[in-house]
Amino acid sequence: MRVEFTAKAAAQYRSVFDRIAEANRFASQRFAARLGERLRQIGRFPQSGHFVAEFATLPVRQFIVEPYRFFYEIDERSKVVRIVSVWHGAQLPARPDLHAP
């Protein structure tokens, strides 16, 4: 499946990446590499992420690239895994905006 970010999730990720890069450029590169690995895995095995306890009634899953949680939905019809939100693990996440029917 193709993996894509919603505009909101992409902005959240850019903010995270910029904060990490500002503190440590090498750490930001390692973070981006780990994220790339997870995105490839989720694209191949979209069901491998965990359901989100805070949103048990929603069809949203998550994977973690320490210390961030990446929330996603699976759009079977379009064959897309859509990253819908990015949160620090210490934060209480807001309800993600889902797009899949």
Domain span holding position 41:
2-88
Amino acid at 99: H
Residue 83 in any domain: the answer is: yes
pLDDT of residue 100: 54
pLDDT of residue 99: 76
- Other CB atoms within a 10 A radius of the CB of residue 77 amount to 8
Residues 6+ apart with CB under 8 A from 27: 20, 21
Residue 93 in any domain: the answer is: no
Residue 24 in any domain: the answer is: yes
- Over 80: is that where the pLDDT of 74 sits? yes
Tens digit of pLDDT for each residue in 12-23?
A: 999 999 999 999
Number of separate domains in the chain: 1
Buried b (16+ CB within 10 A) or exposed e, 33-54: eebeebbeebeeebeebeebeb
Tens digit of pLDDT for each residue in 24-62?
A: 999 999 999 999 999 999 999 999 999 998 898 999 999
Residue 95 in any domain: the answer is: no
CATH (domain of 23): 3.30.2310.20
Q: 86-89 — which CB contacts under 8 Å span 24+ positions?
A: 86/9, 86/12, 86/13, 86/16, 87/12, 88/16, 89/64
- Other CB atoms within a 10 A radius of the CB of residue 55 amount to 17
